[in-house]
Amino acid sequence: MRIGLISDTHGLLRPEALQALAGSDRIVHAGDIGDAAILESLAAIAPVTAVRGNNDQGTWAQALPHTALLVEGGVRILVIHDVKELSGVVDAQVVIAGHSHQPKVERREGVLFVNPGSAGPRRFKLPVCVGRLIVQRGRAEAELMPLAV
């Protein structure tokens, strides 16, 4: 299963992001979406799971959960906007978070942490990026995909 990862669009869904996410079986948006229309555009590619970010406001955003738990291919995937809001033991093999705009993939204490970075407006000198999670045979691996913008 190919899960497209995107975060921090802040109202800007770039065509390069849509191209990078094409072919995904599912898309996860880790918050700071900025506009409900972004979720609709992503849903044209694949089913979307999204969480509310600290900048998501309005009625459409209030309907979004603060966290989401997915189970794909036997892998438990926790989605949250700001990883610093996690407390205690993480009951998942994968944590997907945004907020910092810094793309990163790392394993800590057996948990794969993935931040796909920001796919929206560039912040500082950070890359514009999305990610992909590949789940197969009960394991997950992640890759980052910087966008040429």
Q: What is the pTM of this model?
A: 0.96
User: What are the pLDDT digits (tens) for 81-128?
Assistant: 999 999 877 899 999 999 999 999 999 989 999 999 999 998 888 999
Superfamily, domain 2-146: Metallo-dependent phosphatases (3.60.21.10)
**Mean pLDDT along residues 53-78:** 96
Residue 136 in this model has a pLDDT that exceeds 90: yes
Spell out the domain ranges in the chain.
Answer: 2-146
User: What are the pLDDT digits (tens) for 29-39?
Assistant: 999 999 999 99
**Residue 129: which of 140, 139, 143, 111 has the closest Cα?**
143
5 - beta bridge partners? 28, 131
CA dihedral 73, 42, 20, 80 (to 10 degrees): -60
* pLDDT at residue 75 in the model: 96
